[in-house]
Amino acid sequence: MTELLVTYPAGSTSESSAVAALTRVDGQVLFAVKRTPCHPLSPRWPDQPEDRCTLELGGTRTPVQAQEGYLLGTELMAGTPPEDLDPAQALACVIHSIPAELAPDMGEQVTLRVDRDYRAALSRSHSRCHLVSLALNAALKEAWRKEPPARDSLGNPDFDKLAIVSSTLDEHGSLDSYRIGKHLRKSGFSVEALADPEGLAEAVKELAKSWLLSSPRVSVTPGECALSERRTWSCELPAGTARFPCGGTHPSRMQPDEELEVAIAWEPAEKSLQMRAQSRTFHL
């Protein structure tokens, strides 16, 4: 089966490559290339939006959309394969879509470029999101009455992993939503630790800012791989090397951020906690 690689984990924003598969659907052409820098809209990793991408062909630039999909035989299909489909038959890949009259031909060499500024903003938001979630874990480490079911890569009880419901990113920041349900409480978490959300937000912010002062290096490995391959985000912090499985994009280094703001809202009746982090004034 054709090998189709993604290069955005390593930070690539431009690739010239041959069209390896092409399918016409309702006035659109779906195509895949052997190497793409485009981070797609993903049902598996829905937190980060897709890149803003353009196709360069014949001296013209045309916007293209990127989404996850799969190659089944010679046909490209958007979305995830049906559960009853043999995974060996479906090759996960980034599908680029474009109006049919502007589409490349099968085998044609094309160039795909990503909006660098937008990518950089999303990448900063994504790494900052990981850092504040780790800082939240550290700030809540005394809230556990017994050994937690999971610990993060820095050794703290992994509140984020155990309670996360959703995480969304934009070029300005991140919003994480948590549910403090019966299972978490039975696991030993004390909700009394959330009684002062403003104080908790301040503790998270100050710890994250202290980490950012070290301008920590960030990497995603492997940097070039098949879309289906598991990737790991790593960040070298004063407290140790932090790691997350992650399908998004990240900067190679984080910078000190004196304007970092963190807000936490706790709704006991809904058993809902929200945390917003970004580098400007905002409201939850």
φ, ψ dihedrals at 123, nearest 5°: -65, -40
What distances in angstroms separate CA 77 from CA 21, 32, 46, one per listed residue?
Answer: 11, 11, 18
What distances in angstroms separate CA 22 from CA 58, 76, 82, 99, 220, one per listed residue?
Answer: 18, 7, 20, 13, 29
Q: pTM of the prediction?
A: 0.94
The architecture CATH gives domain 119-278: 2-Layer Sandwich (3.30)
CA distance 169 to 124: 10
Sign of the torsion angle spanned by Cα atoms 148, 261, 119, 177: positive
Domain segments of the chain as ranges: 5-114, 119-278
For the domain covering 5-114, report its CATH number.
2.40.30.130
- Tens digits of pLDDT across the chain (284 residues): 568 999 999 999 999 999 999 999 989 999 999 999 999 999 888 899 999 999 998 889 999 999 999 999 999 999 888 888 877 789 999 999 999 999 999 999 999 999 999 999 999 999 999 999 999 999 999 999 999 999 999 999 999 999 999 999 999 999 999 999 999 999 999 999 999 999 999 999 999 999 999 999 999 999 999 999 999 999 999 989 999 999 999 999 999 999 999 999 999 999 999 999 998 755 55
What distances in angstroms separate CA 24 from CA 31, 68, 70, one per listed residue?
Answer: 9, 17, 15
CA 131 to the chain's CA centroid: 13
CA distance 167 to 176: 4
Phi/psi region, residue 186 (left: phi>0; alpha: psi -120 to 50; beta: rest), is alpha
Exposure on the CB side of residue 175, measured as CA atoms within 13 A? 10
What distances in angstroms separate CA 62 from CA 112, 152, 228, one per listed residue?
Answer: 10, 43, 27
